[in-house]
Amino acid sequence: MTTTLTPPVTPAPRKLVKRRPSATTTQDRLVALGCAVSATLLTWFVLHLLVDSPGWLADLIVAFLLYLSMLYLVTRDRLGRLAAMDRIVHTIVVSGALGLLIPLLFLLSYIVFKGAPYLRWGFFTHDMSTVAPTDPATATGGLHAVVGTLQQTALTLVFVVPLGVLTAVFLNETRSRFRRPVRIMVDAMSGLPSIVAGLFVYAALIIPGIQAGVGLFSYNGLMATLALTMVMLPTVTRTVDVVLRLVPDGLREASLALGASRARTVWSVVLPTARTGVTTAVILGIARVAGETAPLLFTSFGALGMNANPFSDPQESIPLFVYRFIKQPLENVQQRGYVGALVLILLIFTLFAIARVVGRDRSKRKAKKVKKRETR
């Protein structure tokens, strides 16, 4: 009797489905949710039942690390090492963004909650010279602070825009051996604390000016402008420097080949091409100095009444307005500080919105207009 051996039946190979590592499906979301629940329960079991937890921060760190470990192991078993690493990096980046966004939203919500109920149109129509400390917070006047901030910022632009643009042009369009020292100086000034700028103006100009009896070199808006210039100049210079680097070299070479001088090329070709970026740099520089308080404590000094002359006598600004009232013990006075903080945040948000509008790409819109003209 003979027996025939049948070969074992091998299962058909599983068909692989192509997918991008960053693509997610419903199953991937359920896996992430399961890993999060498992990590939370395991953290609670270990840190609260087996040992005593040091606090909520330790629970959060341990749960997050366990979540990453579980997510990596499960994703690697399902999709492979590449997709697992991509998922881990994506989770870390999103968690970091949320970690920064949540405190920012909490801060903004707190300021809005504290200041919005007491913000009235009268804040922009009168100053604090006729407002008593016992008056309600709705009687707050901040016209003098708004005028001071606008004047000091405008004077700062008068100094910063020519110096910043010329310095950026020098760093990009020349071959001088002094470019490297100037670039190092600009980078070093970018990390200069703002209070140091105020102390420098106070020690170098205000103290000698008061001793000599020179009214221009005393507590006024001009001294605040000089301190803000030291803070704003590196920001504008570095931003314009980056923008000028983005201008194609072909435009410069074409202009020089047509016989234009290098100065004419910079003025007629490079700067018009980078006009949007330069405008964005200026607006970002304004937003950089609009909320500075430390240099103003030693320069403009602040005042409760209107002073529309930045070259004489102390002058108020919105950051000083906030600092002046927020440290007082009376609740209604502190509420005035929150109102000023809300106005300052709205001002900075407006500047950033303008920067986004001015700096947006208009090439697609121009291309659409050209196509419409051609079709006509």
In tens digits, what is the pLDDT along the chain, a chain of 376 residues? 555 556 665 665 555 556 665 667 788 888 888 999 999 999 888 888 888 878 888 888 889 999 999 999 998 888 888 888 888 999 999 999 998 899 989 999 999 999 999 888 888 888 888 888 888 888 888 888 989 998 998 899 999 999 999 999 998 888 888 888 998 898 888 888 889 999 999 999 999 988 888 778 888 989 999 999 999 999 999 999 999 988 888 888 888 888 888 888 888 888 888 888 888 888 888 888 888 888 998 898 888 888 888 888 889 999 999 998 888 888 888 899 999 999 998 888 887 777 677 666 565 666 566 666 667 6
Angle between helices 179-190 and 143-173 (to 10 degrees): 150
As a whole number of angstroms, the distance between CA 370 and CA 248 comes to 22
Quote the distance between the C-alpha of residue 66 and its chain's center. Answer: 33
How many other CB atoms sit within 10 Å of the CB of residue 207?
14
How many other C-beta atoms are found inside a 10 Å radius of the C-beta of residue 244? 21
Question: Hey, which residues does 301 pair with through a beta bridge?
Answer: 315
Residue 67: per-residue pLDDT: 92
Q: What is the pLDDT of residue 230?
A: 92
Residue 148 and residue 315 in contact, taking contact as beta carbons nearer than 8 Å: yes
pLDDT at 292: 87
The model's pTM: 0.76
Angle, vertex CA 216, rays to CA 211 and CA 218, nearest 5: 50
pLDDT recorded at residue 229: 93
Which pLDDT belongs to residue 214?
Answer: 76
All residues at 6 or more sequence positions from 306 whose CB lies less than 8 Å from its CB, including other chains: 127, 129, 143, 144, 147
